[in-house]
Amino acid sequence: MKRVLVTGADGFIGSHLTEHLMEKGYEVKAFTYYNSFNTWGWLDTFPKEKLDELEIFQGDIRDPNGVREAMKGVDGVFHLAALIAIPFSYHSPDSYVDTNIKGTLNVLQAARDLELERVLITSTSEVYGTAQYVPIDEKHPYQGQSPYSATKIGADRLAESFYRSFNLPVTIVRPFNTFGPRQSARAVIPTIISQLLAGKEEIKLGSLTPTRDFNYVKDTANGFYEIARSDQTIGEEINIATQKEISIGDLAGELIRQINPNARIVCDEQRTRPEKSEVNRLLGCNEKIMRLTDWKPNYTFEQGLAETIEWIRGNMSSYKTDIYNV
């Protein structure tokens, strides 16, 4: 597999994956979300010489014809385009069905017709909901605890059906919570860091007790790469996880210590998820990815946080620290 399409290449993980694949010698076609500003998301921050090596395809993942056009002439596809914010899915679930389920179907249909060598579909640890046992392996039950989670479960099962019904070489890649440079403030780590760097004394957060298993984004991107390189991963669902957990409260405490020890945490009601929707514990099992591929985490949590703080410090203009970003 030499020439690949990355959908959602303009996003947080997609832009890092695009860079990683280019460094590994792939020819990358980047599928970005069409808009009249002609902006390419995070790809706009790439140096010119890197952009010159990329083929940009602007389209809309919800449009089957555009998706098919984009997928012509590639050997494989890394499908990351999705709507991901959980609070936004509470009031706009239709858009999640259209983007996450229909968008995935468009990719699967085109991949089948064009006979692609590999199809990697991006899932999320949110499909598991609150852990019923830990570490969460790939056999853990699915729980649709938000409309977002429900649409990702639907997309995953569609992908499985295309593998089983049509022998499409699909792999479902399931990263646990990813963080790092370029992540928006709708995610918890950039929310805390950007508020602290803006000099806020009161850090507004939702619930502090949930735990998360955090991957540094460069490790997540490398997980996609290693999964794509292994033939043993076809037809499988694979977690990318560190198999370590930290509570949101402890995470915030650590960042406060590092950036501004005078700050304190304030619970903001509008940031709290409905009780039955809150995922209280995520701790992933990484036995399968370690067994089937050469992947292992290359960054400690501390190294990842340090790089993220440094990046946000240099890009504070990208963050609106006075509002709740859904």
* Domains present along the chain, CATH in parentheses: 3-179+215-240 (3.40.50.720), 188-212+245-318 (3.90.25.10)
Whether residue 161 has pLDDT greater than 80? yes
Q: Which of 82-91, 155-164, 235-244 has the lowest mean pLDDT?
A: 82-91
- Strands, E assignment, the chain: 3-7, 27-33, 55-59, 76-79, 118-122, 170-175, 178-179, 202-205, 211-212, 215-216, 237-240, 246-247, 264-267
Mean pLDDT of 175-198: 95
Question: Dihedral sign, CA of 285, 307, 271, 265?
Answer: positive
What percent of the chain stands above pLDDT 70?
Answer: 100
**Banded model confidence at residue 271, pLDDT cuts 50, 70, 90:** confident
Q: Which of 30-44, 121-135, 256-270 has the lowest mean pLDDT?
A: 256-270
Whether residue 239 has pLDDT greater than 90? yes
Residue 51's pLDDT is what?
A: 96
**Banded model confidence at residue 298, pLDDT cuts 50, 70, 90:** very high
Q: Which of 192-196, 269-273, 283-287, 302-306 has the lowest mean pLDDT?
A: 269-273
57: its two tokens:
């395809």
Residue 326's pLDDT is what?
A: 62
200: its two tokens:
């806020």
User: Exposed (0-12), middle (13-18) or buried (19+): which is 186, by Cβ within 10 Å?
Assistant: middle
Residue 279's pLDDT is what?
A: 87
Q: Which of 107-111, 208-212, 250-254, 319-323 has the lowest mean pLDDT?
A: 319-323
Return the closest-CA partner of residue 173 out of 245, 237, 103. 237
* pLDDT tens-place string over residues 48-102: 999 999 999 999 999 999 999 999 999 999 999 999 988 899 999 999 999 999 9
